[in-house]
Amino acid sequence: MDQITISVIANRLKAIGRQMGVVIERSAHSPLLVEGRDFSLGIYSAEGALIEQTEYIPILGYATGPGVQAVIDYFGEDVHPGDAFLHNDPFTGGNQLSDWKVIKPVFIGDQLVAWTAITAHQADVGGSVPGSYNPYATDLWQEGLRITPLRIYENNRKRRDVWDFVFGNVRLPIVADDIQAMIGGCTVGERELMDLISRYTIPVFNEAVEEIFNSTERMAKRIISEIPNGEYTARWWANDNGFDHEARMNIDVKVTVEDEQMTVDFTGTHPQTPGYVNAPMPVTVSSVMIAFFMLSEQEIAHNEAIKRCIHFVIPEGSMLNPRFPAASGFGNHLSDQIVSAVMLALSEALPGRVTAGWNPLLCSIMNGTDPRKQAPYVDIMINACKGGSGGTEGADGYDHIGLIASGGAISAQDPEMFELINPCFLHKFEYAPDSAGAGQWRGGLGVETIFEIQSEGSQASVFGDGAKAGMTAPGVLGGGDGSINSIVLEYPDGQQTEAHMKDLISNIPYGTVYKQMAGGGGGYGDPKKRPAELVAREVRYGVISAESAERDYGVKLADPANGIIDEAATAALRG
Amino acid sequence: MTTFTLGIDVGGTFTDLVAFNTATGEQVIDKASSTPADPSIGVLNGLESIAAKLSMTRSELLEQTKLIVHGTTVTTNAVLTGRGAKTALLTTEGFRDILQMRRGVRSKEHLFNNKYVAPAPLVERDLRIGLKERTDSAGTLLQPVLEQEIVQAARHFKDQGVEAVAICFMHACANPTNEIAAAELMRNLMPEAFVTYSSEVSPMVRLYNRVSTTVMNAYVGPVLKSYIDRLLGALREQGFHKGELLIMQSNGGITSPHNVAEIPATTVLSGPAGGPVAGSAFARAYGREEAIVIDMGGTSFEASIIRGGEVTIRKEGEINRNHISLPMADIHSIGSGGGSIAWIDDGGILRVGPQSAGARPGPACYGRGGELPTCSDADLVLGYLNGDYFLGGEMKLDVELAERAIREHIAEPLGLSVEEAAYGIYTISNLNMVNGIKEITVQNGYDPREFPMVVAGGAAPVHAAMMARELDMTEMIIPKYSSVLCAVGMLASDLRHDYVKSFQHGWNEIELPLIEAMLRKSRQEGWQALGLEGVTVAKREVIIGIDMRYSGQHYEVTIEFDESILLAGDKAPIEELFHKEHERLYGFDLRHHELEVVNLRISCRGKQAVFELPRSEQAAEGEQAQPRGSRRMYDPAQRQSVEAPIYDGETMKAGTHVEGPCIVELITTTIIVPAGFELEYGSYGSFIMKDVAKGERS
């Protein structure tokens, strides 16, 4: 088969994926999807092998396939043109109850040739807390509606009874609209795939897919063979299990590299926790893939073939592969710690490629009633949570990038849209000075966010980590740690409350001021090696204080406002 | 007697000109070296030269010119090279970093790339000042601007030598009062600075999009203004008393300098926008509604797609990761051209570009002091260019200087012959450009094999055949005016005035006369502007656009329709248009859902139609082109040196054809026809090249 045909099909598949994504981004209703792009989509073979995926948020990428497989296994031959399926069950391949998958078969004539699938975070999925992040849940039924493989469209028509039942069990009507948009996205993908496959014929398409897999496998093997053979281990921590705010849970990882094969083994990791701090296996696998893509430092297609050379050992009953019926609402967010553990393990083998720590996520979901519209609202405070990434050889950390699980893809709400959508009035949303870990390549900056909650009786579900020293983004090779995360509520009566890392704060009165600091990333290398002019310029910009410049970087400023260096004092400080 | 219309396109290396005599239909083209330090000098030089071709003086030509359409890259270059005005930003307190944050997105292309560093924002942080002013999301003014704060800011800006000030406040599109007040104060305090505000530039919701667009507008404003003032002054002085100057905009339409001076950011893709406009005209002449237009100049390579006979337009775009919410032709640009410098990387691999020798010093063969080998030097060494007949003999190219540059910097270090090294440079340049074409075709799911390639730019016809073969494209349309296609496009463009108004209402709450009333002022403005630009009423067209969505959605779908539908007063056909478009784009509609309007758009267009495609002289029965000589050329298809016949493309007649390997020389370009290719001169002033060997193989 000629290379041009293969590349046209490969790239066309990529374009179809992008087109499906645009549908969600442009036509969905929930701010999580439209403003935050908290979704991912893929094209699968008739047998369920991932052919192509577009990750708007990487953590959802490799976490979608098992759900597609669950639908295929469940329905077998009973799949017909015009069907659409829904799924979220973490114990048959789902990753989190909040992440619903719409899965649609693609037929040419009566032959099943492919599947399109979209996973997206829903604004509410039932359960005991609006927004469905419940730190006190001890099993999945308390978290939300469990959807095992379910047919919601038949013959291109809604199954009205099923539809009404499902959406009768979630709080917000926009969830139904968003599922409609996801079905639309899958339909656009289906349409384009039918066009593509008809043009090239089914055998040519299948052959091209196999060629694409082979080429990806070759590339993955080459990437793995660049890592010296050996066993690399690390331990990293997740903190606060929702019940015990002081609890520390270890993640143990052993990466074994043998020529062109790699095994990632989490034996020794903390057992599953009593609450929602548990990651179903698809989350763990997807997190490792993120680390792999970051460390490979080259473009590689994201499909099934990569898994031909990366193997997993994830003990059942551990926090990273919990047993039925564990709660797992926080699971996606353990990806911060999982990726950090893998990076840490490989830092010895790939020192020029690892980054210092990324700011571990601390975030909240707000829900309540918007008095302007007399309607419920739910939003994840993505803007406020996005801290900095870690510095790396040759590049500072990226400012305000957010959780590593999103690779910088999840966008902060635009401030105007934020106020239009939520009953919140923003006072401040700016880089936080001195938040970045110092380094020859400093960490990315975190942000400070202050807004007033203009609704009565809102609720904040807080979930995250990194709120104490020792838990923040670690510096490497002499670099400093990133700053601490915090969420503080100032009530109208003058009282102040600092949120725990997993927390549920209810009955928030109108006029409460919400203050959040999202920490910076860790620094890479000795800060005294950072060019003094660069330090001085950032003092002039106001993102590094004159005190920090002197203390951490050994740069003394004669005139901080104009960034003028005291050369003699600086020379003395820097030795 | 004012009979001439001129199209002038200033590129990085050359200034292209086309003169059209509206009385006789005569068309003359010319090229002059660009003068980047002051591009108006190059324009005047070019005018002198093209006037000479018409046996006139420059003043005589300018006196008889009624219209000059001008495309310029001054604003694009300002953004790409960071040489725009020193710009400051006034924004709402607490939001000074929105510009730089870019919504905290590392860019979709760099999801996993931890070494990626974002380009610096166009305003440094200490020149971004937050003011204690505020309007809420409903448009209620909570806190008026404090004069004292603006006075302080102006003092700081003056101290820092600020030349342009962008003003962008929270929710200014819901209520622009504070922006207008701040702009007035600022204009009084800093009369010499260019002051612009967001509700005037792009009155649409989303602070980041507006602040980025407004800052870009400020950043390029002074650069464009001083350029146009200088150019128009010089033209007037030289005799252009009665005529009008119009400027090409990024959206492929043209407008008056007065209009672009207000929103200069509408010109950031001014120059290249002419390419697809002209390309579609030439492709249509051969019955093709779809085409890929490529344009290879001295410093950059542009590719765009024509579909349904129209240039593809996008509502927003990015330049160097600076968001810009203004309509623009969808053109993909990469740094690859005749002036691209060849070099050897650390791993001993030969690379070409993106560094360019530009116009000065230019390629080594120009003899202007350039010592580094470029793509043009390789083309000369391989025999593709005639050193004595470059630009019709107006410029000499020195093959020895070219050979020396290639030998010293490429051939000797790599242990190759000069010819082999030159062939390497040629091939790698082609691959770079092929990747640029793939970006807009294959990567968007279009199969390039289904499109003809319209070839533009002086250097492109030397490279087109081998690029096409790399992509399996078999048909190329090479206009005789290929080397000045953008300038031709300027004459083929419509006059165009686009307006947008923020208008947030439920669809059920409003009636069409309200929309008509909202747009009335803009329509008058556009209509009058067209009148002043000399477009007769019969040639004017008004297109209405409504950005609509289902209530609760965040993004809009733009539907466009003729003004008559609005005036008819019935909402049903407009609703139907929206549902259909939504279904086409997103695979579903929500017919029972409420609709809401977000923005209103109006586009007043005037058919200019001063340009007519040239009609070629038909060959007599049995008449064939005769070579006027021959020279050694390295045939890139056979990979060997051959003695290739040379044909004079200027005198070839329609219907005659030549077979490769051969060379067809035109005054401003050379077409290389490798073995296995065939070239025919068509009826509408274009050569049609076909990959015959490929056609036989498949």
CA distance A391 to chain B (A): 8
Mean pLDDT calculated for residue range B282-293: 89
Residue range B138-164, pLDDT digits in tens = 999 999 999 999 999 999 999 999 999
What pLDDT does residue A178 have? 95
**In 3-state terms, what secondary structure has residue B255?**
strand
Mean pLDDT highest for which of A17-31, A112-126, B245-259? A112-126
Q: Is B351 helix (H, G, I), strand (E, B) or coil?
A: strand
* Burial state string for B668-679 with b = 16 or more CB within 10 A and e = fewer than 16: bbbbbbbbbbbb
Interface of B with A in 393-452 (CB under 8 A): 438, 442-445, 447, 449
Please give the pLDDT value at position B243.
86
SS3 B139: coil
A130 within 8 A of A174, measured Cβ to Cβ: no
What is the C-alpha to C-alpha distance for residues B604 and B610, in angstroms, rounded to an integer?
A: 18
Architecture of domain B494-606: 2-Layer Sandwich (3.30)
B178: confidence class by pLDDT, cuts 50, 70, 90: very high
User: CB of A14 within 8 Å of any CB in chain B?
Assistant: yes
Q: What is the mean pLDDT of residues B259-280?
A: 86
How many CB pairs lie under 8 A apart between chains A and B?
190
One fold for B4-78+226-267 and B494-606 = no
- pLDDT over 90 percentage in chain A: 83
Interface test with B, best of A3, A7, A9, A11 (most B CBs within 10 A): A11
Nearest CA in chain A to B589: A184
Residue B119 at interface with chain A, using a CB cutoff of 8 Å: no
Residues B205-213, mean pLDDT to the nearest whole number: 96
- The answer to whether residues B622 and B515 touch, using CB atoms and an 8 Å cutoff, is no
Q: What is the pTM of this model?
A: 0.87
Asked whether the predicted pLDDT for residue B587 surpasses 90, the reply is no
Summarize pLDDT for A283-342 with one digit per residue, the tens: 999 999 999 999 988 778 889 999 999 999 999 999 999 999 999 999 999 999 999 999
A182 touches chain B (CB under 8 A): no
pLDDT tens digits, residue range A127-171? 989 888 899 999 999 999 999 999 999 999 999 999 999 999 999
Higher pLDDT, B180 or A2: B180
Q: Which residues of chain A have a CB within 8 Å of the CB of B443? A: 11, 14-15
Q: Does A396 touch chain B (CB under 8 A)?
A: yes
pLDDT score recorded for residue B502:
83
Least confident span in A131-135, A455-459, B612-616: B612-616
* Interface contact B442-A191, CB threshold 8 A: no
d(CA B137, CA A297): 43
Q: Which residues of A touch B471 (CB under 8 A)?
A: 4
Q: Where are the domains of chain B?
A: 4-78+226-267, 494-606, 629-697
Per-residue model confidence as pLDDT tens digits over A33-42: 887 788 999 9
pLDDT at B317 over 90: no
- Min distance A54 CA to chain B CA atoms (Å): 10
**How far is residue A321's CA from residue A318's CA, in Å, rounded to a whole number?**
5
- CA–CA distance, A371 with A509 (Å, rounded to integer): 13
Does B511 lie at the interface with A, CB-CB under 8 angstroms? no
B445 and A12 in contact by Cβ < 8 A?
yes
List CB contacts (< 8 A) between B112 and chain A: 58, 290, 293-294, 296, 407
CA distance B593 to chain A (A): 10
Residue A325 in tokens: 């019926």
- Least CB-CB distance to A414: which of B103, B108, B552? B103
d(CA A30, CA A172): 10
Nearest to A417 among B96, B117, B554 (CB): B554
For A167, the token pair is 């959406």
pLDDT of residue B698: 39
Point out the least confidently predicted range of A263-277, B75-89, B116-130, B192-206.
B75-89
HSE (side-chain half, CA atoms, 13 Å) at A4: 14
Mean residue pLDDT of chain B comes to 90
- The answer to whether residues B240 and B66 touch, using CB atoms and an 8 Å cutoff, is no
The CA distances from residue A434 to A84, A430, B201, B551, in Å, are 50, 12, 35, 42
Dist CA A347 CA A232 (whole Å) = 9
Specify the pLDDT at position B697: 43
Question: Is B168 near chain A, with CB under 8 Å?
Answer: no
Closest CA to B206 of A415, A449, A37, A25: A415
Nearest residue, CB atoms, B588 vs list A14, A16, A183? A183
How confident is the model over B95-116, as a mean pLDDT?
Answer: 90
Q: Cβ separation of B106 and A398 shorter than 8 Å?
A: yes
Report the pLDDT value the prediction gives residue A82, as an integer from 0 to 100.
96
Provide the chain A residues 412-431 that lie in CB contact (below 8 A) with chain B: 412, 414-417, 419-421, 425-431
Q: Using the predicted structure, report yes or no on whether residue B428 has a pLDDT greater than 90.
A: no
Residue A393 Cα, gap to closest chain B Cα (Å) = 8
Q: Any CB–CB contact under 8 A between B208 and chain A?
A: yes
The 10s digit of each residue's pLDDT in B382-397 is: 999 988 877 767 788 9
Q: How far is CA B641 from CA A497, B390, B427, B638, in A?
A: 82, 21, 15, 8
DSSP string, B525-585: HHHHHHHHTT--GGGEEEEEEEEEEETT-SS-EEEEEEHHHHHH--SHHHHHHHHHHHHHH
Q: What is the pLDDT of residue B381?
A: 97
pLDDT for B445: 66
Q: Is B103 on the interface with A (CB under 8 A)?
A: yes
Q: Nearest CA to CA, how far is B585 from chain A (Å)?
A: 7
Q: What percent of chain B shows pLDDT beyond 70?
A: 97
Of residues B582 and B645, more confidence is placed in: B645
Coil, helix or strand at residue A122: coil
B97 touches A at CB < 8 Å? yes
Q: Which two tokens stand for residue A307?
A: 């898994």
- CB within 8 Å: A409 and B553: no
Q: Which distant-in-sequence residues (6+ apart) come within 8 Å of B283 by Cβ? A: B289, B290, B291, B293, B306, B309, B452, B454, B477
Instruction: Give the model confidence (pLDDT) of B616-651 as tens digits.
Output: 888 888 888 999 999 999 999 999 999 999 999 999
Asked if the C-beta of B126 comes within 8 angstroms of chain A's C-beta atoms, the answer is yes
pLDDT surpasses 60 at B666: yes
pLDDT at B537 over 50: yes
In tens, the pLDDT along A236-249 reads: 999 999 999 999 99
To the question of domain B4-78+226-267 being in CATH 3.20.19.10, the answer is no
Q: Provide the pLDDT for residue B335.
A: 80
Residue B359: is its pLDDT beyond 80? Answer: no
For residue B207, list chain A residues with Cβ-Cβ distance below 8 A: 414-416
